[in-house]
Amino acid sequence: METITEKGDYFMKKTRVINSNISRVIAQMGHFDTLSIGDAGMPVPEGTEKIDLAVEAGLPSFIQVLENILSELQVQKVYLAEEIKLQNPEQLKAVKDAVGDTPIEFIPHDQMKKDLKTTKAFVRTGEETPYSNIILESGVVF
């Protein structure tokens, strides 16, 4: 929702996602399109839009960005690397808490890297813990 100022000279978003590139990508997504979020070390394939939010190690965190995007994007399924189960169980728990009842499919990390070629964009965070990467599959709100 947008609001006009008293002077009527500009608009401001009222939703949590204020990054213009992330907001644009979400607005342009259709059913079954994907958006990915990842750690600072995830290689982004040529041709995939990279929205780089990383400021320094750990800032912003993967979970902060995931929760922000989930506040605006309807997600019907998420994909995580199989390796997160053993290599980063704390992050896995945080992801499960964030996505709630949304189904999770675990795939090999190498497959996830390949699948980034077909995502609408990759949002890079400052996260520096292993396998802190996710692919979000968009759903519909009706």
Neighbours of 6 (CB within 10 A): 5
Q: Which two tokens stand for residue 12?
A: 């401001």
Sign of the Cα pseudo-torsion (107, 95, 47, 30, in order): positive
d(CA 138, CA 127): 23
Cα–Cα distance measured from residue 68 to residue 21, given in angstroms and rounded to the nearest whole number: 13
Maximal CA-CA distance, the chain: 55
31 annotated active-site:
yes
State yes or no: 109 annotated in a binding site: yes
Given the residues 31, 85, 93, 117, the one annotated as active site? 31
The token pair at 23 is 């907001």
The reply to whether 133 sits in an annotated binding site is yes
Reading the block at residue 74, the tokens are: 């309807």
Is 39 assigned to a binding site?
A: yes
Please state the residue numbers annotated as binding site for substrate. 39, 109, 131-133
Please state the residue numbers annotated as binding site. 39, 109, 131-133
Catalytic site positions: 31
